[in-house]
Structure 1
Amino acid sequence: MNLRSDEWYGGDDRNSYIHRAWMRRGLPSSAFEGRPQIAIANTASDLTPCNAHLNEVAQSVKQGVYEAGGIPHNLPVVSLGETNVRPTAMLWRNMAAMAMEEMFRANPIDGLVLLGGCDKTIPALLMAAASVDLPAVVVPGGPMLNGTFRGATLGCGTDVWKLSEEVRAGRLPRDTFLRSESSMIRSRGHCNTMGTASTMAIMAEALGMTIPGIAGTPAADARLLEGAHTAGRLAVELVQEDRTVSRVLTAGSFHNAIVALAACGGSTNAVVHLLAVAGRLGLELGLEDFDRIGKDVPLLVNLQPAGTYLMEDLFRAGGPLAVLAQVRDLLDPQAVTVTGRPLVDELDVHEVWDPEVISSRESPLIADAGIATLRGNLAPDGAIIKPAAASPELLVHRGRAVVFDSIEDFRARIDDPDLDVDASSVLVLRGCGPKGYPGMPEVANMPLPQKLLEAGVRDMVRICDGRMSGTAYGTVVLHVAPEAAAGGLLALVQDGDEILLDVPARRLELLVDDAELAARQVSATTLEGYADPARGWERLYVDHVLQADRGADLDFLVGRSGAVVGRESH
């Protein structure tokens, strides 16, 4: 077995002496003699509350690595907490992935165990591992336990949006709303709805990058530690068999992830993350693939925000693999997992134990639940919508635009009683794309005008070049490409313009004639809303970020770079 770490530790010269001596710290000499060195890429951080428990998970991974004959190393990596980081965690996903990639390559590492939980951590870990292409396995940190308030379950994220809108509508006292705060986050773990964190854990499993069956295990469940131990053992096996990321992740793997995304009612954010991971591998994956593969995939998981239950319920009902067992015929039969076996071969033992949570193929919640890709003059490079989270009566809609030039403009005016808006209007928010904000924040699910909420309106068509939280819901068109700040037609939309949304026909059109559009110029207030950072990461990001239809990665990070270090030190 040829180990990459032997380039550091093998031999009797000065360099190998230095590498071994500084790493000894009580280790025996046998630790450097043909034993796989496994890095535990750990996103634990007190400021990423959803990942704070991952240090305990890392200890179980270490035990598994030792048991299998490897040497484990805790490697803290950049951690992004969705709830705290401003202006948006998405601004630093690529930075985190780049820093992780460089550390994986720079250190004497033969294999990786990737510990992630909160929204951007699993995508960044997968992007980095794909780029360096070492053997790797993902251990998702798991969702928190179900919260309850006033005798009812409380879904973190989704119920925040619902309750806060009820406060704005005057139907819920603010002090009651605030009392729910301590009930919502009941335990360690990430969001317990089918938000982005839960979705990306399921995506990692559907891609084949986890121990089969671990995704969705609650963070407080002892079986997560058992799975982490097994993952540590497997990491050593992956190195011994040279089963690298690129040998697991194929076009078929992404096919399976898209099927899982639809069947589970997953977050729209998975689209931009899967595109970015595929780009790192040099695989061709586009928005059309989400529409084509997701078409006619039924929604089987009855979880918030598209349904009723929460992740703890999904786990007891059989978990994500029980869902995939229902749509086995739609999966790629050749795509393998980190075990080396096809994903479809892992499904036989997974049954549905609660049909209220996981519907049968014959009685789905929605017959066609895939992410829809829209095109038209407003989005020539594509935009997406999640029909499962939308109001059916709004999926074909024509209305006049009410335009906001930035999220600050929106917040300043949306509750103005004199705002010219009604239930048929189309709310348009621009300046929120990868370049314009920068970082593509989760603001596309705009709160509705207070006067309409008070009148009983609960959904409107909304269009934005940004993203929305995976815990959000509504008839929201997002990821519009090109964004306004990159020359997209969204920059020229004016109040009163008619917009056509036709999801069945996959159309998104600004109904203004070409001559009129040719005569328009981007207004000064629109331009003032775009980001123009002077220095640092934000400047690098704005100059090099790709559009949403290409995963919003940086242009110079697309493609695999491998594990070879350019130069040797000392």
Structure 2
Amino acid sequence: MDERRPGRLRSSQWYGGDDRNAYIHRAWMRRGLPPSAFSGRPQIAIATTASDLTPCNAHLNEVAASVRNGVYEAGGIPLDLPVVSLGETQVRPTAMLWRNMAAMATEEMLRANPIDGVALLGGCDKTIPALLMAAASVDLPAVVIPGGPMLTGTFRGTPLGCGTDVWRLSEEVRAGTLSAADFTRSESSMIRSRGHCNTMGTASTMALVAEALGTVIPGLAGTPAPDSRLLEGAHDTGRLVVEMIGADRRPRSVLTKGSFRNAIVTLAAIGGSTNAVVHLLAIAGRLGVELTLDDFDRIGSGVPVLVDLLPAGRYLMDDLHRAGGLLAVLREVEDLLDPEALTVTGRPLVDYLGKASRWDSEVIRSRAEPLMGDGGIAVLRGNLAPAGAVVKPAAASPQLLRHRGRAVVFDSIEDFHARIDDPDLDVHADSVLVLRGCGPKGYPGMPEVSNMPLPKKLLEQGVRDMVRICDGRMSGTAYGTVVLHVAPEAAAGGPLALVRTGDVIVLDVPGRRVDVDVPAEELARRTPSQTTIAGFANPERGWERLYVDHVLQADTGVDLDFLVGSSGSRVSRESH
């Protein structure tokens, strides 16, 4: 049966007809619904990542209620569908290990159930990427509703950027300039309200990037979680999903090469998280859109940073919303956007920029007075990263973007924690900290450990940044001169496994290079030490075993090899 036939609802394959199977499907779903619920009314899943163990998403049940109202108003039938939720601050060993599992589970549940369209409710870092990967693979009409950032908390009269100020304050404790008691006292001030991180971390970045991709109602992303306008937008989204079914407007008609161009321009203009690189690559891989690591450099490297937010700037997400939001930012770089890339409304993204205004020119800078001239992600290659690595110049120290230094090597994050504060560690301000065993296979799951804390003895000397190199990721809320996503990772045979303490590392961000100054013949003779190999994870069973056996590298999005591509929404067999 052709579920794409005009006027035909996919759910009618379950509910249409008078045979025994149709009876079973309808009867078990009736539970007070009228007969008309199964006759020509679109069935809308509300895929929500609400969970008390994902604190940034805990409020999404309230948002879902507004979506339900909108679906009903438009003539659809709303159906709550809780899906795998990932709390970035909670799950071990790292939320990134579970992103692909969450995407796969959501995809399969959307495909397996009598659903015509879906509203995707996410917030915390991995939830929006996982939902978009699922929607891209199953290709049913879908709209994202970002859960929104929290309001700004203060401590001792100073605004707190969650995440960024955790890193900053913890380093001040280690440096001896803040007491442990005051650090603990700030804990209750850090999270002021419902919502995800209020800095330009991964959650905020992916919400705004999802809007730039065209998968969010324009103007909604970045609305603070406690703001009533988020519920209004959720109601409108419920109505829109029903409309999209009638128009047969699916992810493949929205998520085009031009949409990914808009996402990369947005990522640069907002000074967004490096994590968006692996997520966008993974989403594109599900669609068959040709997107490469080099596209991020080619499209984004010359785009100015216009948003003055932590960790690169001064302000926070509720300031960005007050100042005009993403549409005001994109109006400044409209000439760099694809004019034909559509949104879920059926209209191009650029159609929404004409009336956008900057209400605070400090928070949202003009094109003529940017926070930074070249703000995009820089893609590095060299004998340390043959398949690429990334660095975020907006978060780095300018004087370190060209640097030569002696490597101090750590074989695992445990090795790092055991030795970094040893007063006898041979490390200096111009040293380069190298951490390996933190890639997709090696950890497993590619944790956010690349922004390594600096040695205590250097902090006490006033040092606040060093060059750091790692095959893992770092939090979008973090800062510093960090080369990350090194590919291939050490555990996959990458040359990072061959670096020894004392080797000279050469970083040249303007030249897009990262190298170890060791002759090629010498590197070819080297093999990873037993200590290095012992630091790599080797799970015996379950998801971790499946993940290690099939995960791809950072330069292609860290998806599983058998999940690249899509299967559509067809289910060929009946359940009874």
Fold-level match, TM-score > 0.5?
Answer: yes
Query: Which residue pairs with 1:297 in the alignment?
Result: 303
Partners of 1:287 and 1:96 lie apart in 2 by 24
Verify: 1:24 aligned to 2:30, yes or no.
yes
Query: Which residue pairs with 1:147 in the alignment?
Result: 153
Verify: 1:211 aligned to 2:229, yes or no.
no
Partners of 2:391 and 2:524 lie apart in 1 by 28
Query: Which residue pairs with 2:370 in the alignment?
Result: 364
C-alpha displacement at 1:313, in angstroms?
0.2
Query: Which residue pairs with 1:450 in the alignment?
Result: 456
Verify: 1:260 aligned to 2:277, yes or no.
no
Describe how 1:239-250 pairs up with structure 2 within 5 A. 239-250=245-256
C-alpha displacement at 1:227, in angstroms?
0.1
Equivalent of residue 505 in structure 1, options 479, 500, 511 = 511
Query: Which residue pairs with 1:187 in the alignment?
Result: 193
Normalising by structure 2, what TM-score?
A: 0.99
* Runs of at least 5 residues in structure 1 that lack an aligned partner in the other structure: none
Residue 386 of structure 2 aligns to a residue whose secondary structure is coil
Residue 539 of structure 2 aligns to a residue whose secondary structure is coil
Verify: 1:59 aligned to 2:68, yes or no.
no
- Aligned residue identity for 1:135: P
Partners of 1:348 and 1:152 lie apart in 2 by 36
Partners of 1:224 and 1:439 lie apart in 2 by 32
Equivalent of residue 496 in structure 1, options 478, 498, 502 = 502
**1:96-139, Cα deviation, whole Å (9 max, x unpaired):** 00000000000000000000000000000000000000000000
Query: Which residue pairs with 1:314 in the alignment?
Result: 320
Residue 380 of structure 1 aligns to a residue whose secondary structure is strand
- Aligned residue identity for 1:99: A
Verify: 1:172 aligned to 2:178, yes or no.
yes
- % same residue: 79
Q: CA RMSD in A?
A: 0.5
C-alpha displacement at 1:566, in angstroms?
3.6
Verify: 1:414 aligned to 2:420, yes or no.
yes
Partners of 2:354 and 2:152 lie apart in 1 by 28
Verify: 1:341 aligned to 2:347, yes or no.
yes
Verify: 1:75 aligned to 2:81, yes or no.
yes
Verify: 1:128 aligned to 2:154, yes or no.
no
Query: Which residue pairs with 1:231 in the alignment?
Result: 237
**1:266-317, Cα deviation, whole Å (9 max, x unpaired):** 0000000000000000111011100000021000000000000000000000
C-alpha displacement at 1:166, in angstroms?
0.3
Residue 479 of structure 1 aligns to a residue whose secondary structure is strand
Q: What is the number of equivalent residue pairs in this alignment?
A: 570
Residue 114 of structure 2 aligns to a residue whose secondary structure is coil
C-alpha displacement at 1:464, in angstroms?
0.1
Query: Which residue pairs with 1:100 in the alignment?
Result: 106
Partners of 2:344 and 2:264 lie apart in 1 by 18
Residue 381 of structure 1 aligns to a residue whose secondary structure is strand
Residue 508 of structure 1 aligns to a residue whose secondary structure is strand
Query: Which residue pairs with 2:286 in the alignment?
Result: 280
Q: Any runs of at least 4 consecutive aligned residues in structure 1 with deviations exceeding 4 A, and if so which?
A: none
C-alpha displacement at 1:216, in angstroms?
0.3
- Aligned residue identity for 1:484: A
- Aligned residue identity for 1:483: E
**1:497-518, Cα deviation, whole Å (9 max, x unpaired):** 0010000000011110012112
Query: Which residue pairs with 2:547 in the alignment?
Result: 541
Equivalent of residue 520 in structure 1, options 515, 522, 526 = 526
Partners of 1:290 and 1:72 lie apart in 2 by 38
Equivalent of residue 563 in structure 2, options 545, 557, 563 = 557
**1:441-491, Cα deviation, whole Å (9 max, x unpaired):** 000000000000000000000000000000000000000000000000000
- Aligned residue identity for 1:506: R
Partners of 1:151 and 1:37 lie apart in 2 by 49
Partners of 1:124 and 1:386 lie apart in 2 by 23
Query: Which residue pairs with 1:13 in the alignment?
Result: 19
Partners of 1:321 and 1:533 lie apart in 2 by 45
- Aligned residue identity for 1:503: V
* Runs of at least 5 residues in structure 2 that lack an aligned partner in the other structure: 1-6
Query: Which residue pairs with 2:144 in the alignment?
Result: 138
Residue 390 of structure 2 aligns to a residue whose secondary structure is strand
Query: Which residue pairs with 2:257 in the alignment?
Result: 251
C-alpha displacement at 1:567, in angstroms?
2.0
